[in-house]
A and B are shown apart, each in its own frame.
Chain A
Amino acid sequence: MIPTSFDYVRAASVPEAIQLLKNFNGEGKLIAGGHSLVPLMKFRITTPGTLIDISQIQELKGVSKEGGRLVIGALTTYAEALGDPLVAAHLPVLAEAIQKIADLQVRNKGTIGGNIAHADPAADLPALALALDAVVHITGEDGEERVPIQDFLFGPFMTALPETSIVTAVSFAIPPTEGKSTYLKYFHPASGYAVVGVAAVARKTADGVINHIRVGITGAGDCAFRAENVEKYLLGKTATLENISKAAQLAADEVDMGEDLFASSDYRRHLCEVYTERALRKVLL
């Protein structure tokens, strides 16, 4: 397929991009790597009047460490993040997850910020973002704000991003050094997206008591979510097989599951439990 016709402008800076979004009054759409947007345009599901290309705004690229967090510029590609020494040193779980995203070509072009802003319910990063207490850095007409990921994502392809704002960076909490983290993914055989993806970050005390636990789940429902019941169940308990197994059964509690030709909602619920259990075993045992 071929997209409908659209105009194209390139923004040289964040303020210019915001001004352009304002000028086009809802008809403008930001494009960075384009790997989520362009397919939708080709299907004519999305028909933006103007594409505002932000891909050349250098200040939105790169990784830095700020206190206990890694701040990843929105335009940092998956491949750049994967090869970044700070990511390797402090967020190996992000590198583990990125290697499971799509294919080499997509990883070379797709961006961290684009992924988060697009809010695809089957994308991998939202699970990580939830498990790593991510904060989305947003710049808009009224200046900068920082929104915790849980408040940022609220539905399939729906976020708290105001129309005339842009995501400038995503910061991830560096997990406790003595803790463990992982991302387990059940690939959709057709699309390669996550049918279920579970990110888990945990730490336990010397005597085996869990004192930090985060579980983020993507793919299964309308929106990535934190398995808070799992976390609550485990916090303060000893990391035993039995506790893990019991906790995992709460993975998809109170969450509506999605459904497609490949996997029913019942099966997805079951997979949430299985993959949560496997992830927990990896980080807790």
Chain B
Amino acid sequence: MTQVIGKPIKRKEDPKLITGHGQFTDDIKLPGMLFATMKRSRYAHAKIKRIHTAEALKLPGVMAVYTGKDVQDKIKPIRSIWLVPGCNLIPKDRIPLAVDKVNYAGEAVAMVVAESRYIAYDALELIDVEYEELPVVVDQEAALAEAAPVIYDDVPKNIAFTWKAGDVPEEVFINAEVVVKQRLVEQRVIANPMETRGAVASYNPGSGDLTIWCTTQNPHIHRITYADALGIPETKLRIIAPDMGGGFGAKIAVYTEEALVGLAAMQLKQPVKWVEGRQEHFLATSHARDQVITTELAGTKDGKILAIRAKNIANLGAYLSTMGAGVPTIDFGLMVTGAYDIPYAQAETIGVYTNTTPTDAYRGAGKPEASFQIERMINIFADKIGMDPVEVRKKNLVAKVPYTNAMGCNYDSGDYHGTLAKALEAIDYVGLKKEQEEARKNGRLLGIGISTYVELCGLGPSKVAGAIGFGGGLWENSSIRVHPSGKVTIFTGASPHGQGEGTTFAQVVADKFGIPLEDIEFVSGDTLIISMGWGTYGSRTTPVAGGALSIAADRIVEKAKIIAAHELGVPLEDVEFAKGIFSIKEQPDQQRTFKEIAWSANNAWNLPDGMEPALEGQSFFDPPDFVYPFGAHICVVEVDPDTGMVELKRYVCVDDVGRIINPMIAEGQVHGGLAQGIGQALWEQSVYSDKGQLLSGTFMDYAMPKARFFPMIESSFIESPSPVNPLGAKGIGETGTTAAPSVIVNAVIDALAPYGVKDLPMPLTPEKVWKAIHERSDGQ
């Protein structure tokens, strides 16, 4: 067997998916299955005076209509999992159906269960809800104002929490040669995976077992939460995440609808399915980002950064979602210094409730926001002191790892300067600067943007999870079962949903055992089959679950070796194992194959004394620290001065993501992340009216990036194994969203330099850019 780690193997998952044989939640059809739909509030903030359901109930085929009052003593509020300590957090939990008051447009007020999806939708129109409108606040800064509407009586000024980390002595700023300050807006975006959310619940009244198939990135967290909410033992609830069409963080959150269909299935004793429509997804599934960050940077005239302090006002939406408090605090604050050796750092975050859809994690979760502000600040600082932004980066980049940043994060491995140098070479920075100079002479607006980002991934040590208020562990579980025939099944507690671990994990095991990839199956996403796990997010699957996998595989090899030594009649230390063959040193003809030992272990005819039969290995791996992928991204844009349109001409990225199992999958992750990161920089934006109506509520208005918007991505990797997990992997899923927004914005601002434009808020839509040019041209 030749080594398969590091090879661009085609994904084992794909033949099924691309031939239409995937089993997604909406593909699940059970006998007698009913369909649920949700009546959603049309108002962003209103008292519910009365809900008339009689007409809907009269519609033939309608089995039940539930209102908030019907379910309030049957389903507990869905609790946020991340209660960040030390910030006076007032959590406002989602309740299954609003009872007295709705707090955002789209909040569910009633559920219809009917014999068909058609009837269930028709019945929604027969439900009449009487509302009394209340004043609305959608913007977090406006929500802090003295006269702003208050959403919760016990949350003064709508402030959910005030969090702070790090401390910069005031004199650092007072004495600094240069101080720059900028308000930067991370606009609200919506994840929009191809598959919207959904759930199918099936209940056995005889045994009391409830099974919910649903779109989740972390089925075990869903099980803990829903068992608690529904008041049933964890052991009576099985959560299955079938095939999923992406999640991007939006399917981490634990929502209410899945619990509602669970309740309906229990009460009606028939399976119940609910699947979001796309418009419903826009309203009901968590939004993301929406942070207003004001950063001050103190430095010297020759480009050394002394301190950074960031103040973040985060829009939490109407309720505290699953990770809602952690994203703009811990995930953001610990990384405000980026990849730079900055002695002092401070981050403060105010979490604010508003009459909007709750916000939660989205690809990168907090790290893209941290990266955006520091990468923009570097350029603004460079502009202020008249230095090339690349030179400022060179002056301040972490020189040597391991390195502990001002917030206490331990950057694990790699050469930060070398990575930048490689990217500069790849794009020919020197040549490019000359080209830009020439272009400017001809009135062309060419811009160069750069980011030397770093992110915190591979969540994470459970001790840290506990210390930061995360309501669970962050270790991971992988087990490997070697069947009598020598075929292998991998089980993992992570729950990949498009990232390709069905292939990459098989590559790891194929190399460990010296067996073909075809012999290896991969199972995840089922709480009955997988004992425990914490799910897939935070680029943790390969570093953490992959770490567990590697250890589990080693345990199997260790046992198999003992069996081989026993069968060959030699001491253990004389047995060598390579490429699937156990052989005796200096007697290569004496050997056993992995397959033979698998059979021996399983038949147990002749095992060493005291050895238990079978060949299975499991590991619960709790990583000693986080991993820190980093890299250098550089792009070239050209702005059309007549229209303001931004053309992305080149995008070069050099990422150090540790050891790479499958370069093709890794590159795919880079492409996907960049599409979303560039999407945020240029097109995507969730917009509310003052009345709290989501104006960007369909794909007619919300600009998801299309393939034709992008040039060929010039991606390459540097592999510096991380010391904190056995595979040396750092995680790659979120590099694109972390790096790209600042790369693009830096490039566009650079392109607009002839007009003196210093900053523009994302997304950099053509009109915004055109206006900036237009205003400046008029003024000249």
A interface, CB within 8 angstroms of B: 1-2, 4-5, 43-44, 186, 188-193, 260-264, 267, 270-271, 274
Contacts and interface: CB of A to CB of B under 8 A. Distances in A.
A1 B277 CA distance: 5
B590 interface: no
A270 B695 CA distance: 24
Contacts of A193: 700
A189 B701 contact: no
Chain A at the B interface: SS class: loop
Contacts of A261: 685, 687, 695-696, 701
A190 B277 contact: no
Contacts of B118: 2, 5
Interface in B662-714: 682-683, 685, 687, 695-696, 699-706, 709
Given A262-B767, A263-B767, A267-B770, A189 B643 contact: no
Given A2-B118, A189-B709, A270 B703 contact: no
Contact of B642 (A43, A191, A262, A274): A274
B717 interface: no
Nearest to B685: A261
Interface string B179-195: 00000000000000000
B765 A262 contact: yes
Given A5-B122, A190-B700, A274-B643, 17 more contacts: A1-B121, A2-B118, A2-B277, A189-B683, A190-B683, A190-B704, A191-B701, A261-B685, A261-B687, A261-B695, A262-B765, A263-B766, A263-B767, A264-B767, A270-B770, A271-B643, A274-B642
B579 interface: no
A188 B765 CA distance: 11
Given A261-B687, A267-B767, A271-B643, A4 B704 contact: no
Contacts of A186: 643
Among all A-B residue pairs, the 6 with the closest Cβ atoms: A190-B703, A189-B703, A267-B767, A191-B700, A2-B121, A1-B277
A190 B706 CA distance: 9
B304 interface: no
B61 to A, nearest CB: 11
A264 B709 CA distance: 22
Residue of B685, B695, B702, B767 ringed by the most chain A CB atoms within 10 A: B767
A186 B767 CA distance: 12
Interface in B98-127: 117-118, 121-122, 125
Nearest to B679: A189
B72 interface: no
Nearest to A189: B703
B603 interface: no
A245 B714 CA distance: 39
Contacts, number: 54
B279 interface: yes
A256 B770 CA distance: 21
Nearest to A193: B700
5 contacts: A2-B117, A2-B277, A189-B765, A261-B685, A261-B696
A267 B768 CA distance: 10
Given A261-B687, A261-B696, A274-B643, A190 B121 contact: no
A262 B279 contact: no
Interface of B: 117-118, 121-122, 125, 277, 279, 642-643, 682-683, 685, 687, 695-696, 699-706, 709, 765-767, 770-771
Contacts of B642: 274
Nearest to B699: A190
Contacts of B702: 190
Contacts of A274: 642-643
A191 B122 contact: no
A260 B701 contact: yes
Contacts of A5: 118, 122
Nearest to B278: A1
A260 B687 CA distance: 11
A271 B642 CA distance: 8
Nearest to A196: B643
A193 B704 CA distance: 14
Nearest to B37: A2
Nearest to B700: A191
Nearest to A264: B767
Contacts of B767: 262-264, 267
A193 B701 CA distance: 11
A262 B701 contact: yes
Contacts of B703: 188-190, 262
A203 to B, nearest CB: 26
Contacts of B695: 261
A270 B640 CA distance: 13
Contacts of A263: 766-767
Contacts of B121: 1-2
A264 B767 CA distance: 8
A2 B701 CA distance: 20
A191 B704 CA distance: 9
B701 A4 contact: no
A30 to B, nearest CB: 23
A13 B120 CA distance: 36
Contacts of B709: 189
A5 B119 CA distance: 9
Contacts of A190: 683, 699-704
A258 to B, nearest CB: 13
Contacts of B701: 190-191, 260-262
A103 B117 CA distance: 29
A2 to B, nearest CB: 5
A240 to B, nearest CB: 19
A188 B709 CA distance: 12
Contacts of A267: 766-767, 770-771
Nearest to A277: B642
A158 B125 CA distance: 27
A235 to B, nearest CB: 25
A267 B642 CA distance: 11
A231 to B, nearest CB: 22
Contacts of B687: 261
A72 to B, nearest CB: 27
A178 to B, nearest CB: 30
Nearest to B708: A187
